[in-house]
Structure 1
């Protein structure tokens, strides 16, 4: 992220009559790269001038759910790709918090990816917006406050894409079977369907063979399949290979 680009009027720069006291938002940062979290903290965490208070950080799905549940922030900056199932899994497990009418926790995806599957996946799971990591500090602060207020926020290039994806009559129907799988389970599914051995999958995804086996078992159970051969046929029929 870079510095400001003339967004002071939007993000709430210092004003007279105690204006900084009027703009406050509690935020949790979820990203598996510590240096990136540190950089974001440096950009947005100066509460006295930005109004943003970073109340917690997390590096994987389990940590994210625990921290968000404990701190109940107003906004969560959520990376899409996380150990333990990805941003979609965090949203799924925090669904009750996002639906709370009294104190909703709102999620803003902050990712390096602008892939269609990632964008639509987290928005469908309940995120209020999606911005890429090229966003400037002032624009990110503005986006956080807009999401806190209930607005939907997208990076300019993604806004039209998201609208087209949801409005198009040619858009593929929701695949309820795929929606049952976490992001990591989908990754394992695709690799299994392409003929990779468990050891090869473990090496490619930087996880243990035992973890691969656990993911395969979960996929088979959720899809009600008996073995990897049926799984391969299932994936091929959906053009996932």
Structure 2
């Protein structure tokens, strides 16, 4: 069962690091550079911080914070490079190796609509996900209870044709991350997709034609997020499927 409106750990005072003025710009080469699993590509676009003091990093993997943040007096920044790993967009270079997480990019504008049954739930995977009071995810108000992983989705925001944030009730908004998933009510899986039991042992594979399956449950099995397509021997890795 899904659970909503249960929050803990109210947000404390937000500590802001050193603010930058105008970012120093170093033009990137036009070719694609690959370092380990991180691909870096030249990109001319805009990063929207929405006046949030977004943390800056010195590396595209965003593991080395510089101790500085973006200025809250500016809401949009020029992007010179992007970094990605496979299909996963990791970060943006705003110039002079000043990287920001892709997850911190806010849409320029968005619309809000009710969940009409398209989403089954927001699966927090036992994480204390930050909760915001606005769909742009700029005003943190607390965190989800990490003892609960299943949350009902009441509304969602839609910028430019994709889903950005999700209201769990009473304007308690969360965003997806690499450790969480927004679970659709049904999902498309191709033939030969492996199936497992609830302990992670492979049992069979989808043996009919490509098909859209109703999702009955979701859980973490051996570190991966799996969805139940039928019996307890029919769990599929959620990321192996695609939306309808």
Q: Which has the higher strand share?
A: 2
**Superposition TM-score, scaled by structure 2 size:** 0.27
TM-score, normalising length from structure 1? 0.27
